[in-house]
Structure 1
Amino acid sequence: MFDTLNAMLVDMLGPAGPLMAVAALALLLILAAIPLMLSSKPDPMDKLAKSGRTKIDAETKAILRDTRRNAKLNKYAQYLEPQSAEELGQMRLKLLQAGYRTRDAVRLFYLAQMVLGIGLLVAGTVYYLLFIDSPESTMQQKLIYILLPGTVGYLAPKYWIQKRVEERRKQIEEGFPDALDMMLVCVEAGQALDQAIVRVAGELHASYPALADEFEIISHEMKAGKDKSAVLNDMGERCGVQDVASFVTVLNQAASFGTSIADALRIYASEMRDKRVMRAEEKANKLPTKMTLTTMMFTVPPLLIILVGPSIVGITQLGTIAP
């Protein structure tokens, strides 16, 4: 199908026909997007004020809709954010799990996708026109050099966020048993849970910064007066780690039933240490299987050369001397 379309465009417009068709399509998309960019949705605060149901002064409106730090992004917010509230919440949660907590994280993510996708698409087109374009070029080459960079640029932010989420989860899993041990020591020494969290956050900053940041967020939210169970549940969602979610459940149950937090921490910390040992043993048991292929690739060929090589040389020499 692509070859037929390519031949048709070449017959109609010449060798540069496919590129002209792609440029025309891009121009049409840009022209179609201009009216959407110019038309902006009315501010809900202005609409509410005009309805007469409530009176909103300038100071209150400035507090509710602060546009000083992201005025440029606010102009295109409806194009840089998902229209579905569910999709927006999922993306915001994923960015939180990756460690990006700024108010403009979602908009910057979609802005990066758009800029990288369009930028690499233009770069690929320019590179193809300057260095690759020729009458012998096929449609497959044009798609590879023009569309592939744009696709890579569009998917690169998603890949980066996914890698960040995995690295952060791994760091939290590795540091969580040590954090529980330190928290248990602080609680048994007479400190409250809030003070123990602050102390553990300070101690973990050098070795496990991701986990330390989570504990700092907990301490700040508790100081602000937020409910403790809600704060812990939010931490479990932000981390995305099963161990942390179970820890949150243990603390909430201890608070609900009035049991000792120190006892709950002692039991759960012991389980986390055992679980870390089990993870290490699991990795050690997987190691021989992973090393088998590598051993065969880098050990067997040299061994065959050493053992069989002299025999092959001898047979070759005998064959040469025989006549």
Structure 2
Amino acid sequence: MIQNIEARLVDLFGPFGPLLAIGGIGLLLICVTLPPLLIKRKDPLDKLKEQARQQEDARSDAEAKELRRPTQTMHLERFATFLEPKDEEEYTAARLQMLQAGYSGRNAVRIFHGCQFVLGITALTIGAGYALIQSAASDTTLQSTIMTVLIPGAVGYLLPRYWIMRRRAERQAAIVNAFPDSLDMLLVCVEAGQSLDQAIIRVAREMRSGFPALAEEYEMVAYEMRAGKDKTLVLRDMAERCGVPDISSFVTVLIQSSQFGTSIAEALRVFSAEMRDKRVMRAEEKANTLPTKMTLATMMLTLPPLLIILIGPSIYDIYLTLGDGAAP
């Protein structure tokens, strides 16, 4: 049988037919058996790394989609030239006012002017509708109609500004009330051996529950110092954001202490004592003005009932006497 196969191969491929057949069979065996041997088995640790990489890529894609997703503030981009002041000084003043009120967002000025625009137009529309209904129900003058339309519009336009001014005043009052206590805590931390940066972080963490406004400012200072910003600029920015004279004086003391190389603990001790005295003086001032403020209320609530009790019966008797004398 083998001789027949060899003879057949010679007839087909010539004298080298058997060699070619053996070479072909060997090549076929190599092609069949070699790839499984060359395939490297995957390490389980490599599988874990690949899964972690895929999860990280998926998380990055999700975050990128979240950032690219349009938000409410992005819808105001098309109205940026209309909602934001074009003058740089006016924009800076509005931005500072937002910061002092506690709104530190990037689009705070734009949202503020957007609220002014929306509330003004809404109130103006309501006033115009009320004026139309009133004019249809009864005859009204042109002046009353104009006042009915313009007054709600003006109130709606000025309402956000009133809110910002009130929020700013409340925040500054909270900072002023909490500032002496924060100085005492800073002094304790510095005298315990902590640096000024560590003391600020500790004070911000301790004051978060009781005085969130001042704690937020201290945290901002700590983050900016960690980021490598110059300490003098950080402190000046804090004084500008707060808008409180006491904070400005405190910043000046720290800057001078750092420039002249004096002890920060000693400067904090003197300044904290001064702030405590100043707080006591403010309390005494309010206590001294209280009787003056109560005088008018006391006169309005006490004098009329007293006059009624003292003079009322006599006036009633005179009325009766004159009434009897006038009767026939």
TM norm. shorter chain > 0.5: yes
Aligned partner of 1:206 among 209, 212, 215: 209
Cα distance between partner residues in 2 of 1:162 and 1:88: 17
Partner of residue 50, structure 2: none
Partner of residue 295, structure 1: 298
State the 1:321 CA deviation.
5.0
Partner of residue 10, structure 1: none
Is the CA contact (8 Å cut-off) linking 1:81 and 1:88 kept in structure 2? yes
Amino acid of the residue matched to residue 260 of structure 2?
Answer: F
**Structure 2 counterparts to residues 1-323 of structure 1, below 5 A:** 69=71, 70-134=73-137, 136-321=139-324
State the 1:319 CA deviation.
3.6
Secondary structure at the residue paired with 2:193?
Answer: coil
Cα distance between partner residues in 2 of 1:81 and 1:318: 76
Is the CA contact (8 Å cut-off) linking 1:173 and 1:241 kept in structure 2? yes
Is the CA contact (8 Å cut-off) linking 1:67 and 1:74 kept in structure 2? no
State the 1:315 CA deviation.
2.6
Gapped regions of structure 2 (runs ≥ 5) = 1-63
Is the CA contact (8 Å cut-off) linking 2:122 and 2:153 kept in structure 1? yes
Is the CA contact (8 Å cut-off) linking 2:204 and 2:215 kept in structure 1? yes
Q: CA RMSD in A?
A: 1.9
Secondary structure at the residue paired with 1:100?
Answer: coil
Cα distance between partner residues in 2 of 1:253 and 1:76: 45
Percentage of matched positions with identical amino acids: 56
Gapped regions of structure 1 (runs ≥ 5) = 1-61
Cα distance between partner residues in 2 of 1:171 and 1:309: 50
Amino acid of the residue matched to residue 197 of structure 1?
Answer: I
Amino acid of the residue matched to residue 275 of structure 2?
Answer: M
| TM-score using structure 1 length | 0.77
Cα distance between partner residues in 1 of 2:274 and 2:169: 23
| Larger Rg, first or second structure (1 or 2) | 2
State the 1:145 CA deviation.
1.5
Partner of residue 58, structure 1: none
Cα distance between partner residues in 2 of 1:234 and 1:285: 36
| TM-score using structure 2 length | 0.76
1:232-286 deviations in whole A, cap 9, x for unaligned? 0000000000000000000000000111100000000000000001101111111
Is the CA contact (8 Å cut-off) linking 2:134 and 2:140 kept in structure 1? no
Amino acid of the residue matched to residue 293 of structure 1?
Answer: L
Secondary structure at the residue paired with 1:133?
Answer: helix
